[in-house]
Amino acid sequence: MDGLERLAGAVLAAGFPGRTVDAHARRLIEGLHVQNIVLFARNIDSYGQLGRLCSDLQALARECGQTLPLLIAADQENGAVGRFGPDVPALPGAMALGATGDPEHARRAGEVTGRLLLGAGVNMNLAPVLDVNNNPRNPVIGIRSFGDDAESVGRFGAAFALGLQSAGVAACGKHFPGHGDTRTDSHLDLPVIGHGLERLEQVEWVPFQRAVAAGIDCVMTAHVVFPALEPGGLPATLSPAVITGLLRGRFGFEGVVVTDCMEMKAVADTVGVAAGVVQALAAGADLVLVSHTLEEQSAAHAAVVEAVRSGRLPRSRLEEAAGRVAALKRKRLRQDQDAPLAAAKGPGQGGAPRAAVHSRAGDAVDELFADARETQERIAQAAVTVVGDERRLLPLLRPGVKRALLIVARSGAVLQVSGTSEAGGRIAEVWRKRSPHVSTVVREYGGGMLFGPSAAELDAADAILLCVAGWPSAEFAAWARGLVGSGRNVVAVALRSPYDLAALPQGATRLALYEDSEPMVRAAVAVLAGQATAIGRLPVSVAPQSSRQTSGGIGH
Statement: residue 347 has pLDDT above 60: no
Label residue 371 exposed, middle or buried (CB < 10 Å: 0-12, 13-18, 19+).
Answer: middle
Can you say whether the dihedral through the CA atoms of 229, 175, 411, 527 is positive or negative?
Answer: negative
DSSP conformation letters of 452-479: ---HHHHHH-SEEEEEEESPPPHHHHHH
308 shares its domain with 456: no
* Nearest-angstrom CA–CA distance, 350 and 342: 11
Q: Is the peptide bond before 177 cis (omega within 30 degrees of 0)?
A: yes
Cα 298 to Cα 491: distance, rounded to the nearest angstrom = 55
For the segment 519-534, the average pLDDT, to the nearest whole number, is: 95
> Comparing 16-25, 89-98, 193-202, 241-250, which segment has the lowest mean pLDDT?
193-202
Residue 174 phi, psi dihedral angles, 5° rounding: -145, 155
In this prediction, residues 31-55 reach a mean pLDDT of 96
Q: Verify that 247 and 313 share a domain, yes or no.
A: yes
Place 338 in a pLDDT band, splitting at 50, 70 and 90.
low
Q: Do 66 and 177 belong to one domain?
A: yes
224-240: average pLDDT: 89
Domain count, the chain: 2
Domain end residue (candidates: 286, 313, 344): 344
Asked if the model's pLDDT at residue 346 lies above 60, the reply is no
Split at pLDDT 50, 70, 90, the class of 266 is confident
What is the pLDDT at residue 455?
87
pLDDT of residue 190: 65
Q: Using one digit for the tens of pLDDT, what is the confidence trace for 482-494?
A: 888 888 999 999 9
Q: Are residues 311 and 397 in the same domain?
A: no
**Distance, CA of 281 to CA of 349 (rounded, Å):** 41
Per-residue pLDDT reduced to its tens digit, 154-190: 999 999 999 999 999 999 999 999 887 665 545 555 6
Confidence band of 69 (pLDDT split at 50, 70, 90) = very high
374 within some domain: no
Q: What is the per-residue pLDDT for 339?
A: 66
Cα 290 to Cα 273: distance, rounded to the nearest angstrom:
8
Domain boundary among 318, 344, 370: 344
What percentage of the chain reaches a pLDDT higher than 90?
A: 66
* Of 114, 12, 13, 8, the residue nearest 72 (C-alpha): 13
Quick one: pLDDT at residue 245? 95
Taking CB atoms within 8 Å and a gap of at least 24, the contacts of 421-425 are: 421/469, 421/495, 421/496, 421/516, 421/556, 422/516, 423/469, 423/495, 423/516, 424/467, 424/469, 424/495
Instruction: Note the pLDDT tens digit of each residue in 349-397.
Output: 344 444 544 566 778 899 999 999 999 999 999 999 999 999 999 999 9
Report whether pLDDT(85) > 70.
yes
* Phi, psi for 285 (deg, rounded to 5): -70, 150
Kindly state the DSSP code that residue 243 receives in the 8-state scheme.
I
pTM above 0.85, yes or no: yes
Are residues 47 and 144 located together in one domain of the fold? yes
pLDDT at 420 over 90: no
Judge whether residue 416 has pLDDT over 50. no
Angle CA(194)–CA(501)–CA(425) in degrees, nearest 5?
120
- Whether the Cβ atoms of residue 437 and residue 403 lie closer than 8 Å to each other: no
Greater pLDDT, 1 or 425 = 425
- SS3 label, residue 176: strand
Burial-class residue 216 by CB neighbours within 10 Å (0-12, 13-18, 19+): buried
Nearest to residue 181, comparing CAs of 210, 220, 222?
222
> Are residues 517 and 535 in contact, defined by beta-carbon separation less than 8 angstroms?
no
Question: In Å, how far are 361, 426, 515 from 370, measured between CA atoms?
Answer: 14, 21, 21
pLDDT of residue 318: 97
User: Domain ends where: 290, 325, 344?
Assistant: 344
With a cut of 80, say whether residue 27 has pLDDT above it. Answer: yes
* 478 contacts: CB under 8 Å, gap ≥ 6: none
Are 190 and 225 in contact, with CB atoms under 8 Å apart?
yes
Same-domain pairing of 303 and 399: no
Query: Is residue 444 over pLDDT 90?
Result: no
Same-domain check for residues 164 and 285: yes
- Angle formed at CA 75 by CA 170 and CA 243, multiple of 5 degrees: 65
Q: Return the closest-CA partner of residue 302 out of 52, 1, 8.
A: 8
Q: In which domain, by residue range, is 188 found? A: 3-344
Helix axes 3-10, 315-332, angle to 10 degrees: 60
Q: Is 553 a domain residue?
A: no
pLDDT of residue 449: 53
CB 91 within 8 A of CB 106: no
Does residue 313 belong to any structural domain of this protein? yes
Backbone angles phi, psi at 280, to 5 degrees: -65, -45
Residue 427 identity: I
Residue 518: which of 438, 421, 443, 445 has the closest Cα?
421
Higher per-residue confidence, 135 vs 94: 94
Residue 357 domain flag: no
Residue 123 near residue 333 (C-beta atoms within 8 A): yes
Indicate whether 297 and 417 sit together in one domain. no
pLDDT at 547 over 90: no
> 348 by DSSP, 3-state: which?
coil
Highest mean pLDDT, choosing among 228-237, 245-254, 351-360, 401-410: 245-254
Between CA 64 and CA 67 the distance in angstroms is 9
CATH of the domain at 485: 3.40.50.1700
Whether 90 and 232 map to the same domain: the answer is yes
The pLDDT value recorded for residue 546 is 41
Indicate the average pLDDT of the chain. Answer: 88
User: Contact at 8 Å (CB) between 406 and 424?
Assistant: yes
Query: Would you say residue 486 lies in a domain?
Result: yes
Choose between 82 and 549: higher pLDDT: 82
Q: Does residue 532 fall inside a structural domain? A: yes
Checking DSSP bridges between strand 71-74 and strand 124-125, what pairing results, if any?
parallel
Q: Which residues of 420-433 are buried (b: 16+ CB within 10 A; e: fewer)?
A: ebbbbebbbebbee
Decide if 238 is inside a domain: yes
- Same domain? For 457 and 320 the reply is no
Tell me which residues are annotated as active site.
187, 260
Q: Residues 45, 85: contact at Cβ < 8 Å?
A: yes
Distance, CA of 318 to CA of 472 (rounded, Å): 49
pLDDT at residue 349, as a whole number: 38
Q: Residue 549's pLDDT is what?
A: 35
Q: Would you say residue 2 has pLDDT above 80?
A: no
Q: Are 327 and 394 in the same domain?
A: no
Q: What angle do CA 470, 474, 475 make, to 5 degrees?
A: 105
- pLDDT for 476 equals 80
Confidence at 249, pLDDT banded by 50, 70, 90: very high
Instruction: Establish if 461 belongs to a structural domain.
Output: yes
Q: For 32, what's the count of Cα atoms within 13 Å in the CB-facing half-sphere?
A: 30
Pair (196, 318) in one structural domain: yes
**71-74 sheet: strands from edge to edge:** 256-259, 218-221, 170-176, 124-125, 71-74, 36-39, 12-14, 288-290
276: domain CATH number is: 3.20.20.300
CA-to-CA distance for 31 and 29, rounded, in angstroms?
6
Taken in order 449, 453, 458, 462, is the CA torsion positive or negative?
A: negative
Across the range 295-322, mean pLDDT stands at 97
Tens digit of each residue's pLDDT (9 = 90 or more) over 109-140? 999 999 999 999 999 999 999 999 988 877 67
The Cα-based distances of 388 to 54, 484, 493, 550 in angstroms read 47, 13, 12, 22
